[in-house]
Chains A and B, each alone.
Chain A
């Protein structure tokens, strides 16, 4: 009986999730070059070795790390701060909460477009704002400046991902029993200690979710880079996902593209596993 209910969903997921993942592995282990479509010999780890020795590889890897570390840290910090604010009672709190969710619904392509316009070096509002405040004498190059580009892209990522993180923190905050805080106040614990010894430990499951989800999002970031910088200027914002796209659909070398994509997937697994280890196992028991 159970099988009858499960069958449609499982069949679909096998066809569009499991099978493609295995097929991608097959592609990554064979020469799959669309310019030589009739010759697909098995090359073992040849595609992996080939991308390791490509000139773009180290910089893509470092950019992925930079994007992921900084992006996830900022999303977590801003998300937590927003959740703490929204957890208080104040006039218009429901309105603030609704507005807070907006970036989450914005398509990533539109998020890219929005920031591309804000960052524009000739007419952008970031330049306009800094200029009006007297912080700069003349409009500056923004996304065209290799020193700034990555930080600007990360900022755009953070803006879109903060609401979901905040929401996960907020729902967990609301589930903390009030008695804990009252008891701590009776014992004379100040606000800082109450935060350190009650709030933070109770938020552990939310931290785990936020960290894993945003690491997944950051390590595979593609849309935002496609729209904002196309990996440039030079290779200043090119990450592994961008390189995988380039190899696959601009150089038509699907084997190498799949090898890069598999590296991203494996990296995600390793980091998710590490979070689970580091933040304790209670999640597993609850799940």
Chain B
């Protein structure tokens, strides 16, 4: 009897945790499929009676004129002007994140290999110094970045985002990649060296294939961090040339004329890539964190 009670209590806890985590997220998704009329129901319709793709259609093909607007009966109300920057912003977000992830993997691996394999003076100090870089908050970095980027004429350029996002991601990538490479037995390198391979060849032929889960983890972490970043993008971007998806989503949230159904659809678009990546690669991410953070 007591055992059964514990069991029931345990499953109640599992259920509570599941609801806490999923219900806000599910509600975001559900309400992005509701019409503008249904979303203002009191109390809310937890399950849409007339699910619709109109919100997504309006985002991907925003009405260009008032006569276009009139043709959208349910959505009719209001599609903000910034919606026409949505597709370019998705492209900018994607490109920026891909470039940042690639540079992280490339230079991060080289540095991590040096930390994991070479003994040199100040190695330990340098590791701590690199980690402590991330204690400085972005709001402290955004001001000097702004001055530098303005002087360099890079305001409203994707390059400005790539450079600043490297600052936000590279220290962490070096950290987890070092943790990863340290767990690869040194004997493998030594065997390769005996066979006459230099450090470059050893890294390229022996280490990289084994370390690929770590490379994936570093790539996904830096992709997600870039895709999700807001403050830098808010300050350094302005037009469709460089503006990113989080900035567009944020302008939607401060526009009182937009219906929540349209806003939520934009939110869902922004949430899909990082959530899919995180779920798909979760083993690599967890492994990367474990080796880097918990054991390191």
Contacts and interface: CB of A to CB of B under 8 A. Distances in A.
B289 A125 contact: no
Given A103-B21, A109-B250, A244-B139, A23 B107 contact: no
Given A23-B144, A222-B139, A261-B140, A5 B114 contact: yes
Contact of B278 (A85, A102, A162): A102
Contacts of A57: none
B290 interface: yes
A172 B205 CA distance: 33
B271 A110 contact: yes
Contacts of B144: 19-21, 23-24, 27, 258
A257 B142 CA distance: 10
Given A16-B164, A113-B263, A2 B118 contact: yes
A159 B13 contact: no
Interface in A74-123: 78, 81-82, 85, 88, 90, 96, 98-110, 112-118, 120, 122-123
B264 interface: yes
Interface string B82-116: 00000000000000000000010011101101110
B185 interface: no
Contacts of B260: 117, 120, 123
Residue picked from A9, A171, A264, most chain B C-beta under 10 Å:
A9
B159 interface: no
Interface in A1-53: 1-3, 5-6, 8-10, 12-13, 15-21, 23-24, 27
A8 to B, nearest CB: 4
B219 interface: no
B52 interface: no
A24 B148 CA distance: 11
A243 B146 CA distance: 17
Contacts of B133: 13, 17-18, 21
A101 B279 contact: yes
B136 interface: yes
Contact of B25 (A5, A20, A90, A114): A114
Contacts of B134: 216
B279 A17 contact: no
Contacts of B267: 110, 113-114
Interface stretch (A65-73, A145-153, A177-185, A265-273): A265-273
Interface string A219-251: 110110011001000000000010011001100
Contacts of A117: 27-28, 31, 260, 263-264
Contacts of A168: 289, 293-294
A247 B179 CA distance: 40
Contacts of A154: none
Contacts of A8: 106-107, 110-111
A261 B167 contact: no
A121 B58 CA distance: 26
Given A222-B231, A241-B137, A257-B143, A159 B253 contact: no
B171 A261 contact: no
A211 interface: no
Interface stretch (B60-68, B72-80, B186-194, B222-230): B222-230
A99 B279 CA distance: 8
Contacts of A20: 141, 144-145, 148, 167
A265 B282 contact: no
Contacts of A123: 39-42, 44, 260
Contact of A110 (B10, B235, B249): B249
Contacts of B282: 98, 101
A105 to B, nearest CB: 4
B118 A5 contact: yes
B137 A102 contact: no
A209 B131 CA distance: 13
Nearest to B177: A9
Given A98-B279, A103-B25, A216 B135 contact: yes
A16 B167 contact: yes
27 contacts: A1-B118, A6-B115, A8-B107, A12-B107, A23-B144, A23-B148, A27-B147, A98-B282, A101-B279, A104-B278, A105-B271, A110-B249, A113-B249, A113-B252, A114-B24, A114-B27, A114-B264, A129-B43, A167-B286, A168-B293, A209-B294, A216-B135, A222-B230, A223-B231, A227-B254, A257-B143, A264-B140
Given A12-B167, A257-B143, 10 more contacts: A2-B118, A5-B118, A85-B10, A85-B17, A103-B21, A105-B278, A108-B228, A123-B41, A159-B21, A220-B138
Interface of A: 1-3, 5-6, 8-10, 12-13, 15-21, 23-24, 27, 78, 81-82, 85, 88, 90, 96, 98-110, 112-118, 120, 122-123, 125, 127-129, 131-132, 139, 159, 162-163, 167-168, 171-172, 175, 205-206, 209, 216, 219-220, 222-223, 226-227, 230, 241, 244-245, 248-249, 254, 257-258, 261-262, 264-265, 268-269, 272, 286-287
Which 10 A-B pairs give the minimum distances between C-beta atoms? Answer: A16-B167, A261-B140, A9-B111, A105-B278, A107-B228, A220-B137, A2-B118, A5-B114, A23-B144, A128-B43
